Structure 1
Amino acid sequence: MKKSELTKGEIGDFYWAYINLIPEDAELTDTLEKNTEEISKFLKSLPDEKWRYSYAPGKWSVLEIVQHLIDTDRIFQYRALSFTRNESKSLPGFDHDLYVLNSGAEKRTPSDLINEFRAVRESGLHLFRSFTDDMLARKGIMNDMTATARAIGFIMAGHALHHKDIISKRYL
C-alpha cells in the first residue's frame, strides 16, 4: 500500500502535516522499517548532554520526546488493530502532556529508550505486515474523527520525522 493511495477522507486535516512528510511513492511497511532505522540512528548520534536538555521552560527533554514517540506508537498501533477488527466504538484521544508528565522518562537512559522504541516499532511492523489491503482500508473513529488503519501507519512514521526535525532545530 502506497502513500499516494490515501485520500483526504481517511484522516482528519491535523494529521496530514505528519503524512505529508512521507514521499508520495512510499510503501507503508517499508516506510515504517526505514523510519525506525533512521530515527534510531539519529537518536544514537545525539550527544549525551542533550538528552536531558530542554530548549525552554515547560518544553520536553529529548528523553521525554522519545518516550512520547513510544507511547504514541503504542496508541496508534492499538487504534489500527481496532479498526482492522471492525471495532464500532469510538476510541478516545489522549493528553500527550499528561502522559509525558507521568512517564518517568527522566529516570531512564537514552539506550533504554532507543531499545524500547525499536521494540515497539518491530511489534508494529509485525502488526502492519499482518493486515491485508482490505483490513488497512477499514475505518474507525479515533479522537472524534474518522481514520483508516493505513493512514495511521503513515502518521506514525511522519510523527517520528516531525519530532526528529524539532530535535535537530531546537535541541542541537
Structure 2
Amino acid sequence: MKVSILEPKEYHSYYKTYIDKVPEHISLLEGLEKGNLDVISFFESIPEAKLNYSYAEGKWTIKEVFQHMVDTERVLYYRCFTIARGDKSALPGFEQDDYVSASKANAKSITDLVTEYLAVRNNTITLIKSLDNSDFTCIGTVSGGAMSARATAFIIVGHELHHLEVLERLYF
C-alpha cells in the first residue's frame, strides 16, 4: 500500500504536511522499515555533547525531539489499532509540549531512547503486518475529525521524516 491511495476525506487537513512527506514510490511497510534504520543511524551519529542542544530558548533539545517522535508514534499506533478494530470511540488529540516536558528525555541516554524507539517501531510494524485492507480502510474520529487507520499509519512515516528534516535544518 502506497500513500497515493489515501483520499483527503481520510484525514484532517492538519495532517497533510506529514502525509505529503511520505515518498510516493515506497510502501507503508518500506517506509516504516527504512525509517527504523535511518532514525537509529541519525541519532547514534550525533555526538553525546550535542544531544541536549536546542537551537533557541524554549525549543526542544535533540533528545526531546527524539522522545517526541517516539511518543507521537505511540499515540498514532494506538489510533491506528483502535480505528482498525472498528472502535467508534472518539479519540482525543494530545498536547505534545506537555508530553515532552513530562518525558524526562534529557535525563535519558541515547541508548535508552534508541531502545524505546525500537520497541515502539517493532510494535508498529507488527501491527501493520497483521492488518488487512478492510482494517486499513476503517474510519474513526480523531480530534473531532474523520481519520482512517491507513492515514494514521502513513502519518507515522511522514511525522518522522518531518522531524528529521527539522533537525537537519535547525540543529546542525
- TM-score bracket for the superposition, by shorter chain length: over 0.9
Alignment partners' CA distance in 2, 1:103 and 1:144: 26
CA RMSD, 1 decimal: 0.9
Alignment partners' CA distance in 1, 2:26 and 2:11: 18
5+ residue gaps, structure 1, are none
Structure 1 residue aligned with 2:122 = 122
Alignment partners' CA distance in 1, 2:158 and 2:41: 16
What is the TM-score of this pair, normalised by structure 2? 0.97
> For 1:77-156, what aligned pairs fall within 5 Å after superposition?
77-156=77-156
> What is the count of residue pairs matched by the alignment?
172
Stretch moving more, 18-27 or 92-101 = 18-27
Alignment partners' CA distance in 2, 1:50 and 1:168: 13
Alignment partners' CA distance in 2, 1:168 and 1:46: 11
Alignment partners' CA distance in 1, 2:109 and 2:142: 32
* Aligned-partner residue type, residue 52 of structure 1: N
Q: Deviation at 1:25?
A: 2.7
5+ residue gaps, structure 2, are none
List, as ranges, runs of 4+ consecutive aligned residues in structure 1 with deviation greater than 2 Å. none
* Aligned-partner residue type, residue 46 of structure 2: L
What is the TM-score of this pair, normalised by structure 1? 0.97
